[in-house]
Amino acid sequence: MPIPFLDEAISYGKVGGSIIAAARRWWKARKRRLTPQEKLELRVKWKPQFETWIAEHYREQLRQDCIIRDMKRMDHYPQIAEGKGISSWFRVELIDTYERGIMVGLGLYGLIEEAHGWRRGEYETEKDKMKNCTLAGFIPYENIETVDWDGDQYYSYPHIYCYFTFKGEPYERLAYCEERKLNTHTYHTEVADYYAVRKLSKKKEGWTRWWRRAASV
């Protein structure tokens, strides 16, 4: 004797299972989960290529521009989309490598060291105390799909196609770094974490605004 609603329940269960399986596949692809072997293969592949390119451009004093492009939005190029969030492509400087990937320069800033850490300085009043640093984005080798080293008709320097898996960005972390030289070798050392600097800078700006308001009374 057939059990009422059993066939229907089984059908719904199959549909639900398919949805869950599809959601798991989507989440895995979104997070770009790679095995340790796959990560190692990509690091071995990209490390010598980037190190050679960077060393050559420092030695010859050539421009180090490159274009970072989002793999999932690669067809948005060369249009410039307006709105919230990081752009699907943008220009940066390819400045160095680190143990897991490449470092790209996002801008130059002056930092001031205080008792509790580093903050952004004010050029007009504090330029003599500033340490000049580059804000660097750290992109792991395993988040790089491919590189067009020759560029195209719009930008004739490397186009680096990345997966933006870190909250919609390609960087696993951001930090302020100082450029140094050892004989003919140029390298970068980390000075301070980006978010720590931002926190202290906002605190300083708050005190400065309060002091200016109090002084104007």
pLDDT tens, position by position, 79-124:
987 677 899 999 999 999 999 999 999 999 999 999 989 999 988 8
CA 57 to chain centre: 21
The verdict on 26 and 61 lying in the same domain is no
The verdict on 90 and 18 lying in the same domain is no
The pLDDT of residue 123: 83
Token look-up 């969030």 returns 85
Mean pLDDT of 197-206: 87
The verdict on 127 and 63 lying in the same domain is yes
Residue 33 has pLDDT above 90, yes or no: no
The verdict on 93 and 191 lying in the same domain is yes
The verdict on 17 and 80 lying in the same domain is no
The verdict on 110 and 164 lying in the same domain is yes
Transcribe 92-146 into DSSP letters.
Answer: EEEEEEETTEEEEEEEEEEEEEETTEEEEPPHHHHGGGPEEEEEEEEEEGGGEEE
Q: What total of structural domains would you count in the chain? A: 2
- The pTM assigned to this predicted structure is 0.80
The verdict on 13 and 57 lying in the same domain is no
The verdict on 56 and 80 lying in the same domain is yes
**What count of other Cβ atoms lies within 10 Å of the Cβ of residue 172?**
14
The pLDDT of residue 127: 86
The verdict on 57 and 135 lying in the same domain is yes
The verdict on 12 and 81 lying in the same domain is no
The verdict on 121 and 26 lying in the same domain is no
Domain that holds residue 91: 35-216
The verdict on 24 and 42 lying in the same domain is no
Rounded CA-CA distance 155/68 in Å is 11
Residue 24 has pLDDT above 70, yes or no: no
